[in-house]
Amino acid sequence: MTFSVLGTDGRGAVGMAVTSSSPAVAARCIHLRAGVGGAASQNVTDPRLGREVLDALSTGLSAPEALDRVVEAHDLTEYRQLTALRLDGGGAAFTGAEALGVHHHRIGSGVVAAGNMLAGTEVVDAVVEAFEAAPGDLEVRLVAALAAGLRAGGEAGPLHSAGLAVVREVAWRETDLRVDWSEEPVEQLRGLLDLWLPQRDDYVTRGLDPTAAPSYGVPGNE
């Protein structure tokens, strides 16, 4: 039903990319907090768990400790799949015994990936290895990892939604892109990123200091 990747660039940014056969997957599964880290909540998703993982990380707990705290505090976690990643690259993952279909998770260097209802466990392995090998901005590496998972087989069925988000120093998501329903969501997400990335830093400047911001380049604000 879903596979995802959490990653950090080692310079203060953390982000997540996710894709699923369900609609609007990014609305439920991506949880990020600037200065803290990231979390994914998926597989019969309870979005509350992602926020609770971030709260636990913000107290200084390690990623495994944060997941343990949340899992122990809730019933029905056997149906959940959770990942966590601190800014320092420490990661953790939990997959409940009732996770759907073929499922797998893997922790790499500054990256955690997990999936369920997969074509095979090699999908998650491909995601981690692609992220670790990819150059460029964190956003580019996350989408490259998602695409590698798709090439490795993806889900057992067709994908229909995808999303990407990244936080850095400011309190909001510098990148927050979604494809909520499509026959080719990962490819459309890549296209959105190609459009967005050259403008990303300008939008941060507009938020922090409009007097220093470039024009929008549209009629009325050339």
Domain contains 221: no
Domain contains 178: yes
Domain contains 220: no
pLDDT at 92: 98
Domain contains 218: no
Contacts of 186 (CB under 8 A, 6+ apart): 19, 143, 146, 147, 150, 159, 162
Domain contains 163: yes
d(CA 71, CA 78): 9
How far lies 50's CA from each of 3, 25, 53, 81, 143, in Å? 15, 14, 5, 10, 21
Backbone angles phi, psi at 120, to 5 degrees: 180, 160
- State the DSSP string of 18-55: EEESSTTTHHHHEEEETTTEEEEEESS--HHHHHHHHH
Work out the pLDDT band at 213, boundaries 50, 70, 90.
confident
pTM: 0.97
SS3 (DSSP) at 137 = coil
pLDDT at 68: 98
Contacts of 178 (CB under 8 A, 6+ apart): 24, 26, 27, 161, 162, 163, 164
| DSSP H/E element including 164 | strand 161-167
pLDDT in tens, 150-170: 999 999 999 999 999 999 999
pLDDT at 222: 66
The domain spanning residue 146 has which CATH number?
A: 3.60.20.10
Per the structure, the count of domains in the chain is 1
Domain contains 30: yes
Domain contains 107: yes
Full residue range of the structural domain in which residue 9 is found: 2-212
Looking up tokens 């150059």 gives 135
pLDDT in tens, 45-83: 999 999 999 999 999 999 999 999 999 999 999 999 999
Domain contains 219: no
